[in-house]
Amino acid sequence: MNVTTSQYQAIVKKAWIIYALLTVALIVILFLFVASDDEERFFFTIMPAAAAYVLRPSERYMDKLILKYTGVTPPTEKE
């Protein structure tokens, strides 16, 4: 499917928002259901966010996922 650069950037932005929301959902689940004391609550609040940042998907991998789930390819660069 052919899209313009701005349309593709909007799709990428939505993908990153979904990634961030999944990270927040994981933090909430760990905080509410797994942690048993204050130290674990603090750990399960900070560490998933840090891990999500450090282990974030590369742009190439994100492009593959966008292609898989939406069928949209990145626009080609014209010189």
Each residue's pLDDT tens digit, 57-66: 999 999 999 9
76 lies in some domain: no
Buried b / exposed e over 65-79, threshold 16 CB at 10 Å, is ebeeeeebebeeeee
Query: 61 lies in a domain?
Result: yes
- What's the total number of domains in the chain? 1
Q: Give the global pTM.
A: 0.83
What is the Cα–Cα distance from 50 to 41, expressed in whole angstroms?
15
Determine the structural domain holding residue 12 and report its residue range: 5-70
* pLDDT for residue 79: 45
Q: Which of 5, 28, 25, 15 is nearest to 56 (CA)?
A: 15
35: closest CA among 47, 23, 52?
A: 47
Asked if residue 78 is part of any domain, the answer here is no
Tens of pLDDT along the chain (79 residues) come to 678 888 999 999 999 999 999 999 999 999 999 999 999 999 999 999 999 999 999 999 999 999 999 999 888 876 4
Say which DSSP state 79 is in.
-
What is the percent of the chain where pLDDT is above 70? 96
